[in-house]
A and B are shown apart, each in its own frame.
Chain A
């Protein structure tokens, strides 16, 4: 997903304007001209100038239409699906781990992603189980990270 220079310049310019406007509401240090808004405003001005520069440069180079170039991988349904699966799996972990526990949730994340990437199911499950136990023992037991527990797998902790 590649933005062309004109579109990228426009986005940077708009981002700069948005930051500037939002920073207008920030307060100053009492009795001073500077405060919470100083830095965001400076970043905003920098962004706006950069955006303008990029737009002018793109126009001079003959680019007239802001466009989005779809990368090769977006043409392949398999690649798009794999990226979506990876993202959904992370969201799944965030949502499901607190209720079903770390071990089942992480098993699903690893095994499903491996299979999506064309690993044989048996290998995927075996490696995932091993990795899952190693991670759980290393982080949960050794480093005492409170990974979400599963009732029936309490012996691992």
Chain B
């Protein structure tokens, strides 16, 4: 009980609460602007959290992320331009609701069911994480090796675009992770006699480059103007939501469960959770023909799902130190910088910190309701800020943020290099998330792989000798086989049964 009291004392301080409120406003703002993602919100926030104690730092990231994922629905609903990829799944329905004058109802549904999904995911996180941590204490390098490989594989296989392109991203991330002196033999690798590179590729400038600078460059290249905002009517944000909840209880629960489960899978996050939940919702709906025409049902399920995933993604991050998505990948980087090594021992050494994180999750999802209401009401003003003014300011934030990590201009150079790489990757439909996961998990993969190989005396069979390692290994191999199975299924159907089969093969084999 004293641990819980200590956790409450850590969170309920005026400073921490103020940080939460400010982060909520920041997350709302970034999420609401089309093209700026929740990951970018986190990336821009990290240099600031760098100067905070662990609890306010994590509180800021948790709150900003939850807000940004919801706020991504605002431009999706009003402009048909999803603010974050997680909102893209149901953008058609939300926008059509706006066209028929029900914008506030659509956004209210996103808001309320996001909060429900987020709270559900948090409850699962609170109950599952300590139990899993007990199990994780028994893990050896073999189990960790497979967990990392599983996380990286999921990141590749669920990323948007084709699997080979996801693999290219992973290779870029893993290669960047090999740079520096921090390796089993302690030999400088690919440092070109640069002292700053000895410590490896600094994670935060790389990430700011990949997520934020690349976005600025893309905007500059496209020169797009702000589109006109649909009117959308005033139907009340919360008025219809109780009816929606009573009408779709199964959908709400199913979305929350699916989202949390997908989030908890290492390597898969909110984006894919929303797509899968929308598809599930349509499949089991009594009115599947209404999907895509301004029907709120899919919005309810997928909205609950993507915020459930945000909480769920923290389970592998805290328990194993393996990120569930690119946002938790950033968080893990922050935790390491703060000297907190995520993994099962954090539950023993600093349980008050873990409980404080749990409390922050609840707070973030509750504060989302009033903040979301304000954001919905202020949406038109936020969306009218011209991007041509905003993007240069964001670029400046990127520069200062990259500098602030080591107080060295080298961070800015790194940011620029990764910004250009990220820009080229997006131009070629190479997803960014696997690269970030590769960069974060690369050292862990290397350490556990080399340790395991030495322990096993070079025998690969040893990777399957311990029961949990064998289970994880087989599961990972099963994930690798998915494209093959899909290909065989398509061949089995003769490949001529219409568009869906062709789409599937394009995604896998392209």
Whether the Cβ atoms of A40 and B189 lie closer than 8 Å is yes
A sample of 12 inter-chain contacts (CB < 8 A) reads A1-B427, A26-B185, A43-B171, A43-B174, A53-B164, A79-B221, A82-B220, A85-B220, A113-B391, A117-B392, A131-B396, A145-B407
Q: How far is the CA of A79 from the CA of B427 in the complex (A)?
A: 14
**Assuming A82-B221, A119-B389, A123-B389, is B396 touching A34 (CB within 8 A)?**
no
Q: Which of A53, A79, A87, A143 is close to B420, meaning CB atoms less than 8 Å apart?
A: A87
Q: Which B residues are CB-close (under 8 A) to A90?
A: 395, 399, 412, 415-416
A interface, over-half SS: helix
In-complex Cβ contact of A40 among B47, B178, B453 (8 A) = B178
Q: Does B187 contact A (CB under 8 A)?
A: yes
User: Restricting to A118-154, which residues have a CB under 8 Å from any CB of B?
Assistant: 118-119, 123-124, 127-128, 131-132, 135, 138-139, 143-147
Interface of B is mostly: helix
Residues of B within 8 A of A98 (CB): 409
CB distance from A152 to the nearest CB of B (A): 21
Tally of chain A residues near chain B (CB < 8 A): 72
Decide if B322 is an interface residue (CB 8 Å cutoff).
no
Contact of A39 among B391, B395, B399, B446 (CB under 8 A): B446
Measured CB to CB, the residues of B under 8 A from A are 47-48, 51, 164, 167-168, 171, 174-175, 178, 183-187, 189-190, 216-217, 220-223, 386, 388-389, 391-393, 395-397, 399-400, 403-404, 407, 409, 412-413, 415-416, 420, 424, 427-428, 442, 445-446, 449-450, 453-454, 458, 509-510
Q: Say yes or no: B427 contacts A78, CB within 8 Å.
A: no
Give Cα A15–Cα B424 distance, bound, in whole angstroms. Answer: 16
Contact status A87-B167, CB under 8 Å: no
* A86 lies within 8 A of chain B by Cβ: yes
In the assembled complex, A12 has its CB within 8 A of some CB on chain B: yes
Bound CA–CA A27/B184 (angstroms): 10
Contact between B393 and A43, CB atoms less than 8 A apart: no
Known: A86-B217, A94-B412, A94-B413; 13 extra A-B contacts, CB below 8 A, are A27-B185, A29-B184, A33-B458, A46-B171, A71-B221, A73-B222, A83-B220, A113-B220, A114-B392, A119-B389, A135-B400, A143-B51, A144-B51
Task: For A116, give the chain B residue with the smallest CB separation.
Answer: B220
Cβ of A8 to closest chain B Cβ, rounded Å = 7
